Amino acid sequence: MSTMPTPFASPSAGSSAPSSGTIGGSATSSATGSATEKFIASAEAHSAHNYHPLPIVVASAEGAWMTDVEGRRYLDMLAGYSALNFGHGNRRLIEAAKAQLDRVTLTSRAFHHDRFAEFCTRLAELCGKEMVLPMNTGAEAVETAVKTARKWGYRVKGVPDGRAKIVVAAENFHGRTTTIVSFSTDEEARADFGPYTPGFEIVPYGDLAALRAAVTDETVAVLLEPIQGEAGVLVPPAGYLAGVRALTRERGVLFMADEIQSGLGRTGRTFACEHEGVVPDVYLLGKALGGGVVPVSAVVADADVLGVFKPGEHGSTFGGNPLACAVGLEVVDMLSTGEFQQRATELGDHLHAELGLLTGAGKVTEVRGRGLWAGVDIAPSHGTGREVSEKLMERGVLVKDTHGATIRIAPPLVISKEDLDWGLDQLRAVLS
């Protein structure tokens, strides 16, 4: 069993975890009128209730650690759904942002700026592609990819106007816009938001035969997550992604990989598709691309795909702004060394080995994932995913539940092995 780790220096960020404050705390342990309760009451009164967060109020963060308004410390084992792959307050990223803040932050795409070309060039090189279309959020990248596929289908493939179809997978999570929820199978995300956008065919995830049957002459793209994060970190059967790649080539269809959560180091490779030696036609990127500093997303493809756009046909006021490009360029530089991918591989192997022991002990029913990313299905006798998340919070570890019985574990890639082990010790204690 590990003891509480001492403050550590992250190998890349050059910063240490906060050294003061207690570890964790119960949602009900504070006195009435505490700072936490006041913040939460104000949020409940004045913000839409579209989230159900754990009852903590974060005030500061560094590396893999967060501190709340009461001075209690928590190990972040979620990392903003991969948006914080490089940890909180990563010095390289903060310094890049600060330097750009003193120069220029926004021009809009009505003008050129001096960070845009280098960002697009370097990101294209990282992906092995020719062109980049920068946006802001992951959902915007998905919407942009949908528009790209349809326009490519009409202009290049010759699909009759208004007939383009995109095949997607059941249990997907690509965002929450009206178009995206139109092809969601999650009723919580979809219900009461119709009428729904047509043009999508949903097939079971991991089922190549169903995918083959769904592809027609009017299909312009197959849009998939290489690993389904929100669904519980579902890894497809071996050979599935390679089969999708072969089928899409055979039928003249774009393979669009949503690597918004799975990409940029999380699984131990730059892209999750690499685990099967697959290169899609289109990468959808976001989250970690902004380094946890600013929202940055992008659609990356070759010129024969992204070249279908002409001036005025798509855009974004903030897409590709100077601040976003400065931070995104630093992210690309950090990933180009391979350090973070190797770290995710080594720590991920350790994470999955330790979680596998819980399966053998009957405390969890299944563990899935790759690299520093795991979906853990809690055995019914040990509570729901939400209950386990709340108990972990009380012990100073932050994770997130999904689909009832599952918790997701995805710490920043800068986490130390000692901190990771301490977090796993807390999970063992909760499940004891």
Given the structure tokens 């539940």, which residue do they identify?
401
Catalytic, out of 173, 183, 271, 340? 173
In 282-412, alpha helices (H) = 303-306, 322-336, 339-360, 385-394
3-state secondary structure (DSSP) of residue 335? helix
218 touches 253 (CB < 8 A): no
Catalytic, out of 287, 363, 391, 400? 287
Backbone angles phi, psi at 16, to 5 degrees: -115, 160
**CA 335 – CA 342 distance, rounded (Å):** 10
140 touches 297 (CB < 8 A): yes
- Around 375, how many Cα atoms within 13 Å sit in the side-chain half-sphere? 18
Structure tokens at 85: 């792959």
- Count of beta carbons in the 10 Å neighbourhood of residue 338: 13
Structure tokens at 368: 């899935």
**CA 17 – CA 39 distance, rounded (Å):** 24
**CA 256 – CA 265 distance, rounded (Å):** 19
Known catalytic residue at 287:
yes
204 touches 210 (CB < 8 A): yes
Do the bridges between strand 254-258 and strand 219-224 make them parallel or antiparallel, or are there none, so unpaired? Answer: parallel
Backbone angles phi, psi at 137, to 5 degrees: -100, 165
Is the preceding omega at residue 280 within 30 degrees of 0, hence cis? no
271 touches 340 (CB < 8 A): no
Catalytic, out of 68, 76, 258, 281? 258
Known catalytic residue at 281:
no
In 219-318, alpha helices (H) = 240-251, 303-306
- Count of beta carbons in the 10 Å neighbourhood of residue 381: 8
Structure tokens at 104: 């220029």
Known catalytic residue at 258:
yes
Structure tokens at 323: 């601040």
CA angle 357, 362, 366 (to 5 degrees): 70
Backbone angles phi, psi at 74, to 5 degrees: -135, 140
Amino acid at position 115, single letter: R
Residues with active-site annotation: 173, 258, 287
